[in-house]
Amino acid sequence: MIIGKIIDKENNDLSKRIDKQKVPEHIAIIMDGNGRWATKKGLPRSYGHKRGVSVLKEILKASKKLGCKVLTVYAFSTENWTRPTKEVDFLINLFSEVLRNEIEEINEESTKIKFIGDLTPFPETLKKIISSSESLTKNNNKFLLNVCVNYGGRQEIVKVAKELVLKCCTGEIKPSEVNEELFNSELLTRGIKDPELLIRTSGEKRISNFLLWQLAYSEIYISDVLWPDFNEFEFLKAIIDYQSRNRRFGGIESLSNESNQDSQLPS
Ligand code: FPP
């Protein structure tokens, strides 16, 4: 099935190589390299972030075209507060500006937007626009865009642990009832399938405290391209690479549904 003509140097249409039946339902992205992209061009880092927004729009469109259902992007980590105030302020303003400019179109396309992370330290103006964007789009069901802001995977796990301990203390649940399902139900991503694919740009080979629980069995694709230069073509390359993987989930491909001692070993 042709998804849209995306031609490589040898004139091959990459979209023809996509198996529509094997498109990941949920893709997580660490959009890395904005600062380096700008610095390389002799521009302030903020230019990289601005350009990063256009790339996100392109990838959102490409994801929908492919038939993917959920995109979760890392826009601001709990560690990003250590950046110079000027850059932090710029990013905070950029989030508000993007929401103000794009929310109408996001809503028209029946996309639901959700912010994941601790919003407490953000200014009221941003909190308000986040809240109105979330409530405007809450019933949309074609696509889900999760934006992780002031998010940290360890912090999320500690939060869940605290909530479960509290429920044990009040007798709502028994310690013996704590299992993965219950843990999942307390995550900030509750109700959302774990990402099948994580894409990180800029060549860094780290998870950087992103979705630590949810990425347990995700395929990881590292692109050397800096986020502001990432595009639909690079995105399709990631999907094609993902589709060539043999996802065993710790088992053995041909025996994945049979009980086998070795399949218990991590791979
Ligand atoms: C990482 O590059 C990128 C960020 C910290 C910010 C990404 C944010 C956006 C693209 C805006 C998205 C906005 C909305 C509302 C969804 P970096 O600065 O860490 O790059 P470096 O590693 O080269 O320094």
What pLDDT sits at residue 264? 41
User: How far, in Å, are 21, 22, 251 from residue 257 at the CA level?
Assistant: 21, 19, 9
pLDDT band at 9 (very low <50, low <70, confident <90, very high): confident
Beta bridge partners of residue 77, listed in sequence order? 151
- 46 C-alpha to ligand 1 centroid (Å): 9
Ligand 1 in reach of 49 Cβ (< 6 A)? yes
pLDDT tens string 208-259: 999 999 999 999 999 999 999 999 999 999 999 999 998 777 787 655 444 4
- 88 C-alpha to ligand 1 centroid (Å): 10
Nearest-CA residue for ligand 1 atom 7 is 75
Ligand 1 in reach of 56 Cβ (< 6 A)? yes
Q: Could you tell me the strand order of the sheet in which 111-116 lies?
A: 111-116, 143-151, 70-77, 26-30, 197-200, 219-222
Mutation to probe ligand 1, out of 30, 31, 90 (largest number of atoms < 8 A from CB): 31
pLDDT tens string 144-186: 999 999 999 999 999 999 999 999 999 999 999 999 999 999 9
Nearest-CA residue for ligand 1 atom 3 is 32
Domains of the chain listed by start with CATH number:
23-152+197-213+230-243 (3.40.1180.10)
**Which among 90, 111, 112 has a CA at the least distance from the CA of 43?**
90
Gyration radius of the chain's alpha carbons: 20
Ligand 1 in reach of 145 Cβ (< 6 A)? no
Nearest-CA residue for ligand 1 atom 8 is 75
Q: Rounded distance, CA 40 to CA 59, Å?
A: 23
- CB atoms near residue 131 (< 10 Å): 12
Helix axes 124-137, 85-108, angle to 10 degrees: 20
What pLDDT sits at residue 254? 53
What pLDDT sits at residue 221? 98
Q: Rounded distance, CA 250 to CA 255, Å?
A: 11
Ligand 1 in reach of 35 Cβ (< 6 A)? yes
What pLDDT sits at residue 2? 42
- Percent helix, strand, coil in the chain, to 5, is 50, 15, 40
**Which segments within 135-239 are labelled E, that is strand?**
143-151, 197-200, 219-222
- 177 C-alpha to ligand 1 centroid (Å): 39
CA pseudo-torsion sign 71, 77, 81, 86: negative
Residue numbers annotated as active site: 32, 80
Task: Using the predicted structure, report yes or no on whether residue 27 has a pLDDT greater than 60.
Answer: yes
pLDDT tens string 104-134: 999 999 999 999 999 999 999 999 999 999 9
